[in-house]
Chain A
Amino acid sequence: MSITKAGTWVEIQQVVLSPAERAPSVPEDTKKVPYVMRVSGFLLEDAQIGQTTRIKTIIGRELEGELITVNPHYAHSFGNIVPEILTIGTDEETL
């Protein structure tokens, strides 16, 4: 497995609460899954995916967690075409 160098922008994950520790008020489906947190930051030591490691966040806080993503990026978009809305407000349909 490849080593990610200290200083790389990464995302870590931490299980905050196990299913058994979840708040009493949560519905049944939510109670079955752990409560998980993810934060991005600069890796403080060389590490591998899946390893517990430490990061420094963009505001300088140090946090610990499992390394899950190297160079995390945003890929959200405008989605696939939704033909149903194309003609709204055009001459193709009457208001």
Chain B
Amino acid sequence: MSVKVKEQFQVSPVMAFFLIHAMQVGIGVLGYQQVIAKVSGYDSWISILLAGIMVSILISIIYYLLNHGRDDVIGIHKALFGRWAGDTLSFLFIIYLFILGIVVLRTYIEIVQVWVFEDLPTWVLTILAAYFLYYAVSGGFRAVTGLCVAGVFIPSVIFFILLMPLEYGKFLNLLPLFKTSFDKLMLGARESTLSFLGFELLLLFYPFLKEQRSSQKWAQIGHWTSVFVYVVLMIVTLAFFSEPQLKMTIWPTLTLFKIIEFPFVERFEYLGISIWMVIVAPNIAMTFWAASRGMKRLFPMKQRSAVIILTILTVVVTPLIEDRENIDTFNDIISKIGFWTVLVYIPFLCLCQFLAEKIRKKE
């Protein structure tokens, strides 16, 4: 029962680049260095490369699954596990996506609260964001893709600005290479995988790509661009901080921003945080779009009403996550779920698909 998406709603395969890259690079970039460096120290950038290879394989697996299933994950679930079990799994996946969106939004608001407006109540930015998200998501997949394209191009300047702290860089820190033991590097790679999460949305937007098979090339390029950004930024960070200093800094990227000074702006981090909204918005919009799309496929409802329900839920739920500890717990839980989903569940699904095909052939 595969769905066919009308061509007017589809996007060209090149867009897979922007979709994957924009989803991977998000709020995590502000603080991923600390988490990884806590495990693999000055060799963290190697961990990221390892994770990059792993995720690249996972993307291939997802493409195998989707190419053979000829449908999005909801259809594949139904085909493999039957109606009830399949729909339950899909529903869980949708809940995961929705919570992911909320956690990203809340984390961004937290950063604004800590760094810019300490007395800003959470619900203010939530309402503003919800309004914007509703507007973007109700524009359909093509609008969200557009947002992703903007979310890649506009902040790309920041990437070059982030090279400026190299003024204080000490590459001596990185030497000797491979001084961290292999198992620690792998543990670091595990932490790094979290930075690459987001590509699993491919499971839902796949039918919206034209020439789906050939889009894998672009998806992979998008992924490797993310790897490049993460590795370069990691190297800058490692050269900039001494190890214990890095381990106590929650948002190393923002601290990097702090040292940057222009004649017209003395404290660049305020600008950086504002521009980061452009990076975060497509992230949240994509998860909401995917969640609403899933709801439409599961329940007899229009996507627009699904979006309205999600928006209202966001406005209610987000301000309930209150302090640093809560946000941290949520981030932890959601990244663990994400990790097991992509690393275990997706290969498992792929295996099921493979076996199902074998059996069908025999019959």
A and B together in one complex: no
